[in-house]
């Protein structure tokens, strides 16, 4: 089922509508209030608009920090569908409070309503992400999360449009609260159709000690390193995004020289970018967690965030504020829009895999509280971001320079991610290159385990065989290869950074050979995939060379399943030896040539012999086309 097909299912659609309308309402009120305070600040307060917008952002996210621990406990103890309905009732009450604030033109009451909306989102947060693994299958989680993220940001867009329009129509602003009441009521009706989501730990005793439970929830998240790193990555995304979103109203007015409509357009461009980036995740990930998208997203956030700083004008144009139609006809403005869109799109590519990783690797009994820990750290990071922005702007830093500073910090994060897991990014890069130049036919790849150790064995046809396998198989693979190929220019760089294990014949370097087998055993013990070309050399004839005994030794020392695979279509390519030395005849470079990779059922370790594997791989290979 495609991610759009989920919208036709009862187990996803009512929840999606509920969360969509909740995000829509939050942003309708929040952005209408921010626009009012930006363009009519003198009638509400004496604070400067750029300070007030960051204060409003901080007030909205403060409840996430204060009440997420309690929200996580409630979502683990009670049916999440019932919690969703009660949260929607609270949302209706909040819109009434907002109506009173608008009627009295009371900034404290309106900020109080904004705080309560943050509380509403805090209570719904653990439900929002913990309910998905209960209602969706594993292969649907990437698409489901992508739909939720895209829907959230479309809701932000629509709420932004509605809030901007309501703030700019003139007259009494209490219409904003009335619109929020209607939306909240619709959200409650949708929540009544969410299927039950039974509590994983109904006997849990809820503690209202915020600090103790906050620390305990973070402890649950830290039990699994991958989960905690995913949460830190998500939190950084929200810090980065919040810095940009909070500044856009003042950026539109004081830097670009636009009006209220300009604010709406900028927010729309950014949120559409996030939505599109999120939706691309399922296509690029093959419906499974694709961690390689994370460093790719981080690089994009840095590049386009930096260019947003460089593309911003030094001063607003003459005659500002200008209508949006006039403003965006000026030279350079389309570059600003492109940068905002790209920051959003790469943000979507970055964050969706992290959410799926957090959900799928979390302990079921603690999942809602782990989501709560995520929300706590998200809030903490956003508060830090808001305070940092206030301090830097208060000390004279311009908003474009603030964007550049955030991009610079993100560059540090991108380098860190790459140094920690370069194989994920390079595997994704290999996939992009292979699929750009070849038509790849795949069969039987579902036989490769989604997790846990295994050995993959494959025929060896050309110098790019490891790159092809790396780019087609969704899991990172640690290849064992000849030490001379390992040290080749270009290819060697890729192999070294994907933790390839070099090996040499005993007569050349006996220690290198033994070290390779030790490293293979260590990798399998850690749950990695090992990739082998048991022939030990690239074929000169197109036929299989004799499989060597190394695979038997590996599974003899560490019993794991062996998955036979076969490459097809590469014999006679530029990278093979069919017509003489490989890579010596450019005429053999044929774009969009058809190649294939086939796999069959794993062979139990006790049944593994080089001879039997060679027979299976030979049958898989067929006539090579």
Judge whether residue 41 has pLDDT over 60.
Answer: no
Judge whether residue 347 has pLDDT over 80.
Answer: yes
Residue range(s) of every CATH 1.20.1250.20 domain in the chain: 9-420
CATH of domain 427-621: 3.40.1130.10
What value does the mean pLDDT of the chain take?
Answer: 85
pLDDT tens column, 233-277? 899 988 998 888 888 888 888 888 888 778 878 888 888 898 888
Q: Are 29 and 113 in contact (CB under 8 A)?
A: yes
Percent of the chain with pLDDT strictly greater than 90: 31
According to DSSP, residue 195 is labeled P
Q: Are 231 and 361 in contact (CB under 8 A)?
A: no
- Find the helix or strand (DSSP H, E) in which 81 lies: helix 80-104
Burial class (CB in 10 A: 0-12, 13-18, 19+), 548: middle
Phi, psi of 443 (to 5 degrees): -150, 140
The structure tokens listed for 536 are 């030990």
Order the strands of the 438-443 sheet from edge to edge.
Answer: 438-443, 593-599, 562-568, 454-458, 529-532, 477-482, 501-503
According to DSSP, residue 571 is labeled T
The structure tokens listed for 379 are 């809030």
Predicted confidence at residue 465, as pLDDT, reads: 92
Percent of the chain with pLDDT strictly greater than 70: 94
Q: Which is nearest to 499 in space by CA: 412, 415, 427? A: 427
134-148, 374-388, 513-527 — most confident range: 513-527
- Find the helix or strand (DSSP H, E) in which 301 lies: helix 293-311
Could you tell me the CATH superfamily of domain 9-420?
Answer: MFS general substrate transporter like domains (1.20.1250.20)
- Contacting residues for 602 by C-beta, under 8 A, at least 6 apart: 447, 449, 454, 561, 562, 563
Distance (Å, rounded) from C-alpha 231 to C-alpha 102?
37
Distance (Å, rounded) from C-alpha 351 to C-alpha 347?
6
Of 208-212, 386-390, 601-605, the poorest mean pLDDT is in: 208-212
Q: How many CB atoms within 10 Å of residue 13? A: 15
Q: How many CB atoms within 10 Å of residue 326? A: 14
Q: Please count the CA atoms within 13 angstroms of the CA of 403 that sit on its side-chain side.
A: 24
- Give the E-state strand segments of 17-130 in sequence order: none
pLDDT tens column, 507-542? 888 899 999 999 999 999 988 999 999 998 899 998
Q: Are 146 and 139 in contact (CB under 8 A)?
A: no
Distance (Å, rounded) from C-alpha 348 to C-alpha 296?
11
Residue range(s) of every CATH 3.40.1130.10 domain in the chain: 427-621
- Contacting residues for 513 by C-beta, under 8 A, at least 6 apart: 503, 504, 505, 506
Higher pLDDT, 26 or 617: 617
- Contacting residues for 65 by C-beta, under 8 A, at least 6 apart: 376, 379, 380, 383
β-pair partners for 594: 439
């Amino acid at each position: 089922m495609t991610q759009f097909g989920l919208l036709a299912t009862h187990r996803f659609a009512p929840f999606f509508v509920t969360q969509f309308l909740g995000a829509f309402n939050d942003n309708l009120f929040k952005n209408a209030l921010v626009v009012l305070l930006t363009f009519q600040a003198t009638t509400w307060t004496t604070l400067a608009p750029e300070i007030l917008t960051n204060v409003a952002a901080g007030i909205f996210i403060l409840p996430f920090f204060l009440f997420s621990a309690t929200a996580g406990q409630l979502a683990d103890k009670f049916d999440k569908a019932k919690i969703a309905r009660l949260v929607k009732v609270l949302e209706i009450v909040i819109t009434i409070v907002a109506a009173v604030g608008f009627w009295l033109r009371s900034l404290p009451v309106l900020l109080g309503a904004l705080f309560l909306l943050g509380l509403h989102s805090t209570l719904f947060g653990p439900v929002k992400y913990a309910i998905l693994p209960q209602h969706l299958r594993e292969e649907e989680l990437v698409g489901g999360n992508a739909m939720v993220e895209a829907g959230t940001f479309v809701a932000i867009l629509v709420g932004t449009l509605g809030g901007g329009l309501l703030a700019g129509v003139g007259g009494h602003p209490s219409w904003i609260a009335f619109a929020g009441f209607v939306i909240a009521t619709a959200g409650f009706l949708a929540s009544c159709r969410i299927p039950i989501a039974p509590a994983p730990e109904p006997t849990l005793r809820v503690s209202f000690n915020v600090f103790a439970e906050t620390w305990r929830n973070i402890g649950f998240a830290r039990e699994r390193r991958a989960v905690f790193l995913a949460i830190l990555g998500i939190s950084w995304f929200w810090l980065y995004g919040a810095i940009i979103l909070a500044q856009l109203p003042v950026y539109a007015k004081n830097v670009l020289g636009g009006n209220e409509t300009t604010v709406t357009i900028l927010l729309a461009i950014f949120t559409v970018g996030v939505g599109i980036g999120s939706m691309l995740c399922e296509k690029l990930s093959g419906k499974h967690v694709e961690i390689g998208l994370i460093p790719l997203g981080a690089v994009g956030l840095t590049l386009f965030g930096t260019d947003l700083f460089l593309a911003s004008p030094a001063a607003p144009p003459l005659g500002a504020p200008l209508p949006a139609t006039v403003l965006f006809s000026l030279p350079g403005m389309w570059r600003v829009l492109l940068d905002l869109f790209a920051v959003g799109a790469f943000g979507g590519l970055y964050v969706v895999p992290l959410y799926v990783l957090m959900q799928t690797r979390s302990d079921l009994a603690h999942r809602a509280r782990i989501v709560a820990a995520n929300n706590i750290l998200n809030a903490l990071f956003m508060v830090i971001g808001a305070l940092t922005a206030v301090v830097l702007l208060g000390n004279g830093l311009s908003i474009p320079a603030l964007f550049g500073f955030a991009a610079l910090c993100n560059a540090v994060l991108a380098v860190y991610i790459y140094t920690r897991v370069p194989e994920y990014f390079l595997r994704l890069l290999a996939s992009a290159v292979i699929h750009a130049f070849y038509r790849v036919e795949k069969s039987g790849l579902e036989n490769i385990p989604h997790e846990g150790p295994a050995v993959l064995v494959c025929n060896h046809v050309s110098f790019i065989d490891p790159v092809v396998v790396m780019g087609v198989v969704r899991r990172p693979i640690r290849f064992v290869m000849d030490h001379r190929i390992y040290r080749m220019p270009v290819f060697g760089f890729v192999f070294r950074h994907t933790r390839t294990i070099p090996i040499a014949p005993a007569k050349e370097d006996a220690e290198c050979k033994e070290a390779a087998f030790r490293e293979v055993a260590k990798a399998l013990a850690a749950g990695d995939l090992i990739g082998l070309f048991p022939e030990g050399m690239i074929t000169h004839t197109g036929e299989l060379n004799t499989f060597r005994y190394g695979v038997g030794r590996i599974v003899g020392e560490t019993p794991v399943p062996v998955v036979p695979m076969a490459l097809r279509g590469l014999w006679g390519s530029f990278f093979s030896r069919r017509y003489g030395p490989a890579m010596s005849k450019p005429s053999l470079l044929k774009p969009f040539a058809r190649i294939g990779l086939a796999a069959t059922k794993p062979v139990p370790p006790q049944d593994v012999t080089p001879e039997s594997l060679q027979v299976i791989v030979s049958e898989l290979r067929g006539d090579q086309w």
